Amino acid sequence: MEVATSSALILPFTASSVGVARRRLVRDLTKAGVFEGTACDAGLVLSELISNALRHASPLPGRVVRVSWTLLADSVEVTVTDGGGATAPLVNEPTTWSIGGRGLGIVARLSLRWGVRPAGEPADGDDEQPGTTVWADLPVRYRSQARLVTASSRDA
């Protein structure tokens, strides 16, 4: 059985989309043979990125947010594209009594790297992108018997 190694979702710009995206990502990664703990870390990062978009940005046209992920041999990239906001995403250092402000710190800790593509900046050979995209690359561990099947590994 081959499993999709990438997915893109257009979701309503509402809090309920956080859980929908997280569950779908964890399910897809688990089906692809990714270790459950790794899939859950990716789900947490995706949840934080969507939550930040909902809190600090505007929606894309149609009051939606675009969420995607791509599974590679040793990492998974998750992206969230929104309509942009007044401020650029950055890691805060909240006080111990702060209620929020820890989301991108969690993203930074769990990710190999993360960043922001501002509105209009192309993504790796793609056409110009609407909105602001926040992305994160996470390391991936597979269950011992699992192996990601890609076009290049099928030909090997």
pLDDT, tens digit, 9 for 90 and up, residues 104-141:
778 888 899 999 887 665 555 555 557 899 999 999 98
Residue 151 binned pLDDT confidence (cut-offs 50, 70, 90): very low
Q: Regarding the domain with residue range 6-85+99-155, which homologous superfamily does it belong to in the CATH classification?
A: Histidine kinase-like ATPase, C-terminal domain (3.30.565.10)
Q: Per-residue pLDDT for 155 more than 50?
A: no
Alpha-carbon distance of 83 to 61, in angstroms, equals: 8
Considering only residues 146 and 85, tell me which one the structure prediction assigns the higher pLDDT. Answer: 85
Rg (the chain; Cα; Å): 16
Alpha-carbon distance of 135 to 87, in angstroms, equals: 16
Give the model's pLDDT for residue 123.
Answer: 56
* Pick from 76, 91, 84, 54: nearest CA to 142: 76
Instruction: Give me the residue spans of the domains in the chain.
Output: 6-85+99-155
Lookup: tokens for 65: 């947010």
Give the model's pLDDT for residue 3.
Answer: 55
